[in-house]
Amino acid sequence: MAAGIDLLMFAVVCVCLLAGFPVAFTLAGVALWFALMGVAFGFFDFSFVGALPQRIFGTMTNTTLIAVPLFVFMGVMLERSKVAEELLTAMGRLFGTLRGGLGISVTIVGALLAASTGIVGATVVTMGLLSLPTMLRRGYDPALAAGTVSAAGTLGQIIPPSIVLVLLGDVIANSYQTAQLATGVFAPKTVSVGDLFAGALLPGLMLVALYILYQVVTAILYPDKSPAIPADEAAGRQKDLFKSIFTALIPPLTLIVAVLGSILGGVATPTEAAAIGAIGAILLAGYRTGKQIDPEPNGHRRSLLYQTLRVFDFPGSLPIVAAALALGFMVILTATFDLRIARNTISVTEQSAIYVAYGLSLLLAWGTLVSLKRVLATGVLKEVMTSTTQISSMVFAILIGAALFSLVFRGLGGDETIRGILMDMPGGATGAMLVVMLVMFFLGFFLDFIEIIFVVVPIVGPILLMMGIDPVWLGVMMAINLQTSFLTPPFGFALFYLRGVAPSEIKTSHIYKGAIPFVLIQIFALAILTLFPQIATWLPSVIY
């Protein structure tokens, strides 16, 4: 009777999710129901479920996953602090005089926001609210405008630092270790989230270049679909262009370089780099919101927290700028000197560097407290903390539900079933990889990337890696595949996000029609990566 029960359980989960039941409770509930049914009919050992507490404890003590709430906080804080709005305005002024310039601007800003936030839904909604009405007012084709915004918003899936890559990197690392142990390698090699970040960087930039190339070709072949801003109007918009671009672009770009550079340079782990990003986002938000605080008291300012933070305030932006510089110098110090204090022997030079780091820490603390006071006064801090808590809780609740699901699935022999199916595929590793990518692509229509990463990848990952597939290349291919499913009509999540904020003149058919060329571009990118896997594997091999 147990034959096929594992696949039936997977099918029941998909049906329940399509019916709209909460993801975490669906995964755990269906798994528990099948486990109890298996015990009753004698084809399931309930001791598999007994391993759940250790799984949960391992998840909660996983230092890599601490990066998730920190990156979420960084992304939400930058979204609320109007970074996207200023970037779009500045890039629009820079490229608006060209045919297709607004589309190019949206793509570049989407890439910068992807590297700053890594949250697809937030980026699509923000870009939809800010850029879509402008593009329509400038005479852009509705389908092209909608497709451009949707595609640019999904770049957060692949361009590091991405929450998708953090979660996928942790799962791929575990799968890689499992695969090596299964093949008799008892001193397994490791693959880290940093490896995946490095591997995804060039494919992400390649995808941005392909998007921009499509905008340029469309503007040349169909100039009426993406007109330029009129010359007389553009002339008036060029005033103080350099200053606006500098102030809008340099701060977030510096933050991106600090976060990514510290990871790729081996200075910080992804979790430590996420902490740098969170502090940098607080400083940037405090600098931008400092001018928006009105003198009248409100509920936030009457709070005890506000009154406490008020002690550290200082007129102007001096403490925030000093803190930002201190943060940068601390990263440089960490890369240059050994700042560990729990050592028996510390040289005079290193001791001096440690004292400098203490002073920089005080400056950083002062600027951070001032920034927190300002974002609290404007109500931004409360919104950011609420959103961060909700998103992080959702991720970890799904992770716990997926852990129970995978235990029961394995207890029912599901991993053996999947291994048999993939091993018997014609074409060996290539055929198995193609089947897995197709299954993930179609699952992406109605499952979020978090469920796919936590449920599907742990099952198929070890099998593919045992076939000799490179773990970094596999992770990057899966990330782009999940990004493609975000855009694919009629179920792509990014399309639904945009539909919720699009102006009334944008029809659903416009969104679907505009997304199709970008889906084809992403499939083309997958084909390029398949033929030239070095695009994903070269940079990690050079850096590490």
The tokens describing 58, both together, are 């391992």
Q: How confident is the model at residue 215 (pLDDT cuts 50, 70, 90)?
A: very high
pLDDT of 1 above 50: no
Average pLDDT over residues 123-135: 78
Top-ranked range on mean pLDDT: pick from 268-272, 391-395, 434-438: 434-438
SS3 314: coil
pLDDT of 301 above 60: no
What's the pLDDT score for residue 535?
94
The tokens describing 105, both together, are 């601007």
Q: Output the CA torsion sign for 263, 265, 269, 272.
A: negative
What's the pLDDT score for residue 520?
93
pLDDT of 334 above 50: yes
What's the pLDDT score for residue 121?
65
Mean pLDDT, rounded, of the chain: 83
**CA–CA distance, 276 with 506 (Å, rounded to integer):** 39
Average pLDDT over residues 339-355: 89
The tokens describing 219, both together, are 């503007």
Average pLDDT over residues 93-101: 76
In angstroms, the first-to-last Cα distance of the chain is 50
**CA–CA distance, 463 with 469 (Å, rounded to integer):** 9
Query: Are the CB atoms for 443 and 156 separated by under 8 Å?
Result: no
Query: Are the CB atoms for 175 and 458 separated by under 8 Å?
Result: yes
What's the pLDDT score for residue 295?
41
What's the pLDDT score for residue 529?
95
**CA–CA distance, 534 with 199 (Å, rounded to integer):** 9
Cα dihedral 210→216→218→224 (10° resolution): 150
Among the ranges given (61-65, 83-87, 360-364, 499-503), the one the predictor scored with the smallest mean pLDDT: 83-87
What's the pLDDT score for residue 203?
94
Average pLDDT over residues 355-383: 89
pLDDT of 294 above 50: no
Average pLDDT over residues 354-367: 93
**CA–CA distance, 497 with 495 (Å, rounded to integer):** 5
Tell me which H or E stretch contains 140.
none
What's the pLDDT score for residue 387?
85
Q: What is the CA radius of gyration of the chain?
A: 25
Per-residue model confidence as pLDDT tens digits over 151-178: 988 887 888 888 888 888 888 988 888 8
Average pLDDT over residues 455-475: 89
Return the percentage of the chain with pLDDT > 70, whole number: 89
pLDDT of 475 above 80: yes
Among the ranges given (5-9, 187-191, 274-278), the one the predictor scored with the smallest mean pLDDT: 187-191
What's the pLDDT score for residue 297?
45
Q: How confident is the model at residue 231 (pLDDT cuts 50, 70, 90)?
A: low
DSSP annotation of 290 reads G
Tokens 């890696």 belong to 465
pLDDT of 293 above 50: no
DSSP annotation of 443 reads H
pLDDT of 126 above 80: no
Top-ranked range on mean pLDDT: pick from 36-45, 68-77, 436-445, 466-475: 466-475
CA 177 to chain centre: 24
On the CB side of 313, how many CA atoms lie within 13 Å of its CA? Answer: 19
What's the pLDDT score for residue 237?
53
Q: What type of residue sits at position 127?
A: M
Top-ranked range on mean pLDDT: pick from 117-131, 491-505, 509-523: 509-523
Average pLDDT over residues 41-68: 83
Higher pLDDT among residues 457 and 186, named by residue: 457
Among the ranges given (123-132, 256-265, 271-280, 347-356), the one the predictor scored with the smallest mean pLDDT: 123-132
pLDDT of 471 above 60: yes
| Cα distances (angstroms) measured from residue 322 to each of 250, 327, 467 | 16, 9, 52
pLDDT of 95 above 70: yes
pLDDT of 296 above 70: no
pLDDT of 192 above 50: yes
Average pLDDT over residues 7-22: 82
DSSP annotation of 455 reads I
